[in-house]
């Protein structure tokens, strides 16, 4: 998830649409970020596909949001975010976590969003 995390830390949203990347908002994409995206395109698509394989998609026509996510995913997200906000040792933007934060981050990343 390193390439995706890099773009997310830059304030970008990355989606895979029909084996192509959709990166937004466009006004935040700088020339160095364009170069990074071109250089890491295969890695970004692989990371997105792996994330999508880990979570089954809802029925066609539904927008993927936390509003339709599984209860387990919401719980994992809430526990991770609550810990991150309270723990002085965890820095989510740099990917540095205490032992508990690391475990909660792993749980959040690996809990299926949908059943």
In this structure, the chain runs to a length of 115
pLDDT at 52: 61
Q: How many degrees, rounded to 5, is the angle at CA 56 between CA 58 and CA 60?
A: 25
pLDDT at 31: 93
pLDDT band, very low/low/confident/very high, at 64 (cuts 50, 70, 90) = low
Residue position matching structure tokens 């970004």: 44
Q: What pLDDT is recorded for position 61?
A: 61
Q: What is the pTM of this model?
A: 0.47
Is 89 exposed, middle or buried, given 0-12, 13-18 or 19+ CB atoms closer than 10 A? exposed
User: What pLDDT, in 10s, does the model give residues 66-113?
Assistant: 777 788 888 998 999 999 899 999 887 777 889 999 999 888 888 888
């Amino acid at each position: 998830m390193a390439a995706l995390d890099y773009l997310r830390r830059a304030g970008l949203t990355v989606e895979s649409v029909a084996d192509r990347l959709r990166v937004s908002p466009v006004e935040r994409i700088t020339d160095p970020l364009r170069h990074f995206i071109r250089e890491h395109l295969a890695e970004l698509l692989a990371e997105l596909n792996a994330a999508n394989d880990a979570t089954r998609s809802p029925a066609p026509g539904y927008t993927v949001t936390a509003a339709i996510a599984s209860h387990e995913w919401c719980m994992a997200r809430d526990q991770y975010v609550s810990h991150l906000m309270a723990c002085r040792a965890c820095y989510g933007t740099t990917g540095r976590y205490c032992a508990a934060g690391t475990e909660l981050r792993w749980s959040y990343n690996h809990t299926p969003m949908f059943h």
